[in-house]
Homo-oligomer: A and B are copies of this chain.
């Protein structure tokens, strides 16, 4: 099973009750490297977790600031989270832009980006004989 927004939010709520705003903040700051969240996902998810009785909601009225809802994880929620944590990890897939680009370059530009970038940057072709190293530019096809 994959670690989705559902489980992430349940996991955060294990550290104590939080508002949606706080959950958003934690995701945007401390967990931004693993997961990116938006309010358009957090609030609907919290609502759904509520209807599934995995969290409870406590409304706090405020006058100077907008009202807030504090969410607390229930026993059923803790069970659900533990179950998700003990299930096998999904394949580690790096949906990586960089890696993908590097890989695709090999397919469609066998000689690499040398000339492409040289023209873009308006740089002259270097005189490789000036360098003592035996290294020569160019892709080594697998």
Copies of this protein in the assembly total 2
Q: Which residues of B contact A100 (CB under 8 A)?
A: 3, 8, 31, 34-35
In the complex the two chains form, what is the Cα distance from A98 to B2 in whole Å? Answer: 10
Write the A1-35 contact mask toward B (1 if CB under 8 angstroms, else 0).
Answer: 01100001001101100000000000000011111
Closest to A14 in B: B108
Asked if B31 and A103 make an inter-chain contact with CB atoms under 8 angstroms apart, the answer reads yes
Ordered by A's residue number, 27 sampled pairs between the chains whose C-beta atoms are within 8 Å are A2-B97, A3-B97, A11-B104, A11-B108, A12-B104, A14-B104, A14-B107, A14-B108, A31-B100, A32-B93, A33-B99, A34-B93, A34-B95, A34-B96, A35-B93, A35-B95, A36-B91, A81-B108, A85-B101, A89-B97, A89-B98, A89-B101, A92-B97, A92-B98, A93-B95, A94-B96, A95-B95
